[in-house]
Copies of this chain bind each other. A is one copy, B any other.
């Protein structure tokens, strides 16, 4: 199935666009990639920044399969797949898909990398919304395996099948999100923990750096191997999650009630009083983060769990 997607057009050459370009070029050796972006220095920009994403790959082989377009019609006319990571606003996305639909081959499929604008909204002015599905990466996509695949009610089974088959063939982890919901799943989960983290720092229970240390030495490694349900299911022994909830449910509820009480006081909303101090602590703890080192370690973790 992966052979279906051999001519991929990327709309938008920001960091997500370049990361996806690197992913396609390195993991799908038969594809060509066309990058469309309205920036005037597009080619120079990509030639400067793409190598940082290509790691140990044969760079000249990758660049030989890379094309540029400054005209949308030309960009999509031979595409098997159009993948969009343009500005994160609904007007832009609603207006660009009918233009893409008009010029792309009839059997091309369409992916949006949006982190929040559902396919049902984006496809409002398309003739055939069955071709569009959200494929939301976890940044940066050339390293992180997850892709949240979020169809609208109009997305066809054919679009879904081709989308899942492609990403699986590339060794990634596409996961279907069955209902469009605010933030999809990964960010909803991460932000729930992040809110509790902000709340605990705001209360002076722990500082920013120590909170990160706690996560890095417990949940991080554990959840790399077994997600929260599997972990608690294992924690319940032979009785599984049912037994875990019977035994530990009281503590779980106490923690939930504690969190709810703290948050209900209205303390932990974006822009609240807590925020400046948390941001200051992050500055002091980390300065500017070296993402190269982070990414190298992340690759090793993924290799350790057989994900790379």
Interface residues of chain A, those whose CB is within 8 Å of chain B, are: 115-116, 138-139, 144-146, 148, 173, 175-179, 181-183, 185-197, 200, 203-230, 232-235, 238, 240-242, 245, 249-260, 263, 268-271, 275, 278-279, 281-283, 285-286, 288-289, 291, 294, 297-298, 300-305, 307
Q: Is the CB of B233 within 8 A of A173?
A: no
In the complex, which residues of chain B have a beta carbon less than 8 angstroms from the beta carbon of A203? Answer: 179, 181
The verdict on A187 contacting B251 (CB below 8 Å), with A175-B206, A230-B289, A234-B289 known, is yes
Residue A146 contacts which of B217, B228, B245, B256 (CB distance < 8 angstroms)? B217
The verdict on A188 contacting B200 (CB below 8 Å), with A220-B225, A255-B182 known, is yes
Q: Is the CB of A305 within 8 A of B294?
A: no
Residue A240 contacts which of B190, B288, B298 (CB distance < 8 angstroms)? B288
Residue A191 contacts which of B226, B235, B256, B268 (CB distance < 8 angstroms)? B256
**Distance in Å: Cβ of A123 to nearest Cβ of chain B:** 20
Question: In this complex, what residue of B is CB-closest to A150?
Answer: B205
CA distance A227 to B187 in the complex (A): 15
Q: Is the CB of B254 within 8 A of A197?
A: no
27 A-B residue pairings within 8 Å (CB atoms): A116-B254, A175-B206, A175-B210, A177-B205, A179-B203, A182-B254, A185-B211, A185-B214, A187-B251, A188-B258, A191-B252, A192-B256, A192-B259, A195-B256, A212-B229, A219-B220, A219-B223, A220-B220, A220-B224, A221-B298, A221-B301, A225-B294, A229-B282, A240-B286, A297-B305, A300-B304, A301-B305
In the complex, which residues of chain B have a beta carbon less than 8 angstroms from the beta carbon of A187? Answer: 251, 255
In the complex, which residues of chain B have a beta carbon less than 8 angstroms from the beta carbon of A281? Answer: 229
**Protomer copies:** 2
Residue A222 contacts which of B177, B178, B257, B298 (CB distance < 8 angstroms)? B298
Q: Is the CB of B271 within 8 A of A221?
A: no
The verdict on A206 contacting B226 (CB below 8 Å), with A200-B185, A255-B187 known, is no
Question: In this complex, what residue of B is CB-closest to A205?
Answer: B179
Q: Is the CB of A214 within 8 A of B241?
A: no
Scoring A188, A203, A254, A286 by chain B CB atoms within 10 A of each residue's CB, the highest score goes to: A188
In the complex, which residues of chain B have a beta carbon less than 8 angstroms from the beta carbon of A282? Answer: 229-230, 232-233, 240-241
In the complex, which residues of chain B have a beta carbon less than 8 angstroms from the beta carbon of A145? Answer: 217-218
Q: Is the CB of B196 within 8 A of A188?
A: yes
Q: Is the CB of B289 within 8 A of A226?
A: yes
Question: In this complex, what residue of B is CB-closest to A195?
Answer: B256
CA distance A288 to B244 in the complex (A): 13
In the complex, which residues of chain B have a beta carbon less than 8 angstroms from the beta carbon of A206? Answer: 175-178, 185
In the complex, which residues of chain B have a beta carbon less than 8 angstroms from the beta carbon of A224? Answer: 216, 220-221, 224, 297-298, 301
